[in-house]
Structure 1
Amino acid sequence: MDRYERILALHRSLKTARYPVPIKGLMEELACSRATLYRDIAFLRDALGAPIESEGEGSIRYDQKEAERFELPGLWLNSDELHALLAAHQLLDRTGQGVLSSALAPLKGRIESLLAQQAGGKRWPVERVRVIASGVRRRDELAFRLVASAVLERRTLAFDYLARSTNERTHRTVSPQRLTHYKDNWYLDAWDHDREGLRSFSVDRIQHAKLLDGTARDLPDAELNQHLASSYGIFSGTPKGIATIVFSAKAARWVADEHWHSKQEGRFLPDGRYELKLPYSHAKELLMDVLRYGADAEVVAPEALRQQARTLLQLALSSYER
């Protein structure tokens, strides 16, 4: 830990402490000698104006009245925070010239300014932090802006929707609930007034969007979470069952570290394979993720889901038997 991070950690320890902090404990926390710690305390107090006061022998604290008002001057970030800021910069940079680029440009500029302050005049090689998109679909910037405005301004929205699965075009009037980013693509969770139910719409399939004057109907968070977050994937709903998938010992090293669902249950089997259980509503997306593991994944239950996986694999095999 360098001096910069020690001083930041020291400040945060004193800022959050309810009681005097022992010098010995600070030495252990900051991994430094007593002499180094006292130099840092002196710099924090004398150069930065921290309201440090001694509490008997061997402990210090911030003055209780001044602690709430005192903050370190300028920008102070530890290594993890700095790395997160670099990643955020790359995420913004990835928007390119399309959706959100103009709206986020000031924020991207502000992050660059913060990074410059943190570097003390040096330039951070931000190009060495990479965020690679996968499966990003083309989006209409105007449609995205209207959808986002409807969500934030709580207004009803009308649009034509071209369903990807059927290529059928329908007209929808909805009360937007949430704008969701999932697997590098955007979805609108909304109450469909004509169908009287919650639906999820892929924003890239929304056309001719129009903000209406009506106030959007707000649904309780509990209802939204139950319907939209209770089962696997973006195409969620009331779970139809619990899927059980067994992965080979080779794939287990990856799957065991993956987050598939907030209510998933996983365990290693005695032979090194990995068993994953999770709720699902619609089988299509779940099977797409399972089948990408090929022969290293087996759908065990329920039987109907197992048969669907078998059918998909047989259809794929038939394409190679011509």
Structure 2
Amino acid sequence: MDRYERILSLHRTLKHARYPVTVARLQDELGCSRATVYRDLAFLRDALMAPIVGDGEAGFRYDAEEGNRFELPGLWLNSDELHALLAAQQLLSRSGGGVLSNALAPLQQRIEKLLDEHSAGKTWPVERVRVIPHHSRRMDEQAFRFVCSAVLERKQLSFEYRARSTDERTRRTVSPQRVTHYRGNWYLDAWDHDRDGLRSFSVDRITAARVLDTAARDIDESELDRHLAGSYGIFSGEPKGWATILFNARAARWVADEHWHSQQQGRHLPDGSYELKLPYSSPRELLMDVLHYGADATIVEPASLREQARALLALALSNYER
């Protein structure tokens, strides 16, 4: 245990102790000598201004009144937390899109400084931590900031929106409810005042955003979940039905560990295949996910979803008949 970890452990022990803790117990918990315990106690008391009371015979603890208010200044990390911070630093610096990189640059600089201070001259092999973006989309960083500001400040938001499905451009005024990160991309859940209902907007399709002075309309969290999270994927609306999908034994080894929906039901079958049941509203995203598994997945029911999958496969096959 290095010094940082000993100081952190010593602080936690003294802060939660109801009675004085003996030096022998501290030696055992910290895994160090008696002299080291006294040095750490002195550093904690004199340099960090910890309210330590007691002596070597009766033991040590924090003052009953001041100890409740005292916390270690700055940020103290043990080795596990330091390694997690290192991974987070790489995630910030190497994630694609750049939409958060500029806003979080000051935080990243502080993380790098902390890593330097805690490394004791050791060079961390940061190249061993890899972050590979997948299917992320480019977006207007200023629009993203306005979206987040409106959500947090509870203000209405005005913007131009270009729907991906129709390529239609419209001007919308909404009461932002929350931002959702889903499959590497950002979405805005909002009350659409022009459509008089809850809608989800892909943030990468938002331009010319402007935060208004008008207070946003707040929608109850349960209603948001019921409307926006009750169906499969990012598509909103009440579930229209349940789909049953059968994966063969090869695909089962992956699908059994995947999270598709909060209400999904899955079971292994005797032949090694895997049956997955889940609710859905719009079939489009569900079909894309199922077809991703190709011949390893079969939609069992409902019949309408089977027919849609059959039509999509036939259409795809026709592209190769020329």
If the length of structure 2 is used for normalisation, what is the TM-score?
0.82
Mapped to 1, the partners of 2:53 and 2:269 lie a distance apart of 55
Mapped to 2, the partners of 1:133 and 1:151 lie a distance apart of 26
Conservation of the 8 A alpha-carbon contact between 1:159 and 1:173: yes
What is the match of residue 162 of structure 1?
Answer: 162
What is the match of residue 83 of structure 1?
Answer: 83
List per-residue Cα deviations over 1:230-279 (Å, max 9, x = no partner).
22211132111222222221222212222222222222112222222222
RMSD between superposed Cα atoms in Å? 3.4
Quick check: 5-14 or 280-289, which moved more? 5-14
List per-residue Cα deviations over 1:98-133 (Å, max 9, x = no partner).
434332111111111121222124332323212211
Mapped to 2, the partners of 1:20 and 1:111 lie a distance apart of 36
What is the match of residue 120 of structure 1?
Answer: 120
Structure 1 residues 6 and 245: CA distance shift in structure 2, 3 A? farther
What is the match of residue 140 of structure 2?
Answer: 140
Shift of 1:75: 3.7
Partner of 1:102: helix, strand, or coil? coil
Mapped to 1, the partners of 2:30 and 2:15 lie a distance apart of 22
Partner of 1:103: helix, strand, or coil? coil
What is the match of residue 308 of structure 2?
Answer: 308
Shift of 1:306: 2.1
Mapped to 2, the partners of 1:21 and 1:292 lie a distance apart of 60
Structure 1 residues 22 and 225: CA distance shift in structure 2, 3 A? farther
Mapped to 2, the partners of 1:241 and 1:20 lie a distance apart of 62
Shift of 1:148: 2.0
What is the match of residue 234 of structure 1?
Answer: 234
List per-residue Cα deviations over 1:28-73 (Å, max 9, x = no partner).
xxxx97893775866654543475879x99x997665454344456
Shift of 1:78: 3.3
What is the match of residue 193 of structure 1?
Answer: 193
Structure 1 residues 74 and 179: CA distance shift in structure 2, 3 A? closer
Structure 1 residues 231 and 96: CA distance shift in structure 2, 3 A? closer
What is the match of residue 246 of structure 1?
Answer: 246
What is the match of residue 48 of structure 1?
Answer: 44
Conservation of the 8 A alpha-carbon contact between 1:75 and 1:117: no
Partner of 2:103: helix, strand, or coil? helix
Structure 1 residues 154 and 52: CA distance shift in structure 2, 3 A? same
Mapped to 2, the partners of 1:110 and 1:177 lie a distance apart of 31
Mapped to 1, the partners of 2:15 and 2:266 lie a distance apart of 40
Amino acid at match of 2:239: P
Corresponding position: 1:299 with 2:299: yes
Structure 1 residues 184 and 19: CA distance shift in structure 2, 3 A? farther
Mapped to 2, the partners of 1:87 and 1:22 lie a distance apart of 38
Conservation of the 8 A alpha-carbon contact between 1:178 and 1:189: yes
Partner of 2:253: helix, strand, or coil? helix
Mapped to 1, the partners of 2:134 and 2:112 lie a distance apart of 25
Mapped to 1, the partners of 2:104 and 2:168 lie a distance apart of 34
Amino acid at match of 1:315: L
Quick check: 131-140 or 273-282, which moved more? 273-282
Conservation of the 8 A alpha-carbon contact between 1:87 and 1:131: no
Shift of 1:187: 0.9
Shift of 1:137: 1.1
Amino acid at match of 1:185: N
If the length of structure 1 is used for normalisation, what is the TM-score?
0.82
Gaps (5+ residues) in structure 2? none
Mapped to 2, the partners of 1:227 and 1:21 lie a distance apart of 55
Structure 1 residues 10 and 314: CA distance shift in structure 2, 3 A? farther
Conservation of the 8 A alpha-carbon contact between 1:265 and 1:276: yes
Mapped to 2, the partners of 1:283 and 1:18 lie a distance apart of 59
Amino acid at match of 1:141: E
Question: Equivalences for 1:194-209 in 2 at 5 Å?
Answer: 194-209=194-209
Mapped to 1, the partners of 2:170 and 2:282 lie a distance apart of 21
Conservation of the 8 A alpha-carbon contact between 1:189 and 1:199: yes
Gaps (5+ residues) in structure 1? none
Shift of 1:175: 0.9
